[in-house]
Structure 1
Amino acid sequence: MEAMSVSSEGLPDVATLSFEQARDELIRVVGELEQGAPTLEQSLALWERGEALAARCEEWLLGAKRRLEAARATPEGAEA
Structure 2
Amino acid sequence: MTNDTEKTTSSVPALTAEELEKIDSLSYEQARDQLIQAVQALEAGGLDLDASMRQWQIGEALAKRAQKLLDDVRSRLDAAQAEQASAGATAGTQGNLS
Q: TM tier, shorter chain?
A: 0.7 to 0.9
List structure 1 runs of 4+ shifted beyond 3 angstroms: none
Relative contact order, higher structure (CA 8 A, sep 6+) = 2
Separation of aligned partners in 1, 2:61 and 2:46: 18
Alignment of 1:1-80 (within 5 A): 7=19, 13-74=22-83, 75-76=87-88
Alpha-carbon displacement from aligned partner over 1:10-69 (angstroms, at most 9, x marks no partner): xx8111100000000000110000011421000000000000000001000000000000
2:73 aligned counterpart, secondary structure = helix
Q: What's the TM-score, normalizing by structure 2?
A: 0.64
Query: Aligned-pair RMSD on alpha carbons?
Result: 2.0
How many residues get paired? 69
Separation of aligned partners in 1, 2:76 and 2:22: 25
Which structure is larger by alpha-carbon Rg, 1 or 2? 2
Q: What are structure 1's unaligned runs of at least 5 residues?
A: 1-5
Q: What's the TM-score, normalizing by structure 1?
A: 0.78
Structure 1 residues 21 and 41: CA distance shift in structure 2, 3 A: same
Separation of aligned partners in 2, 1:38 and 1:56: 24
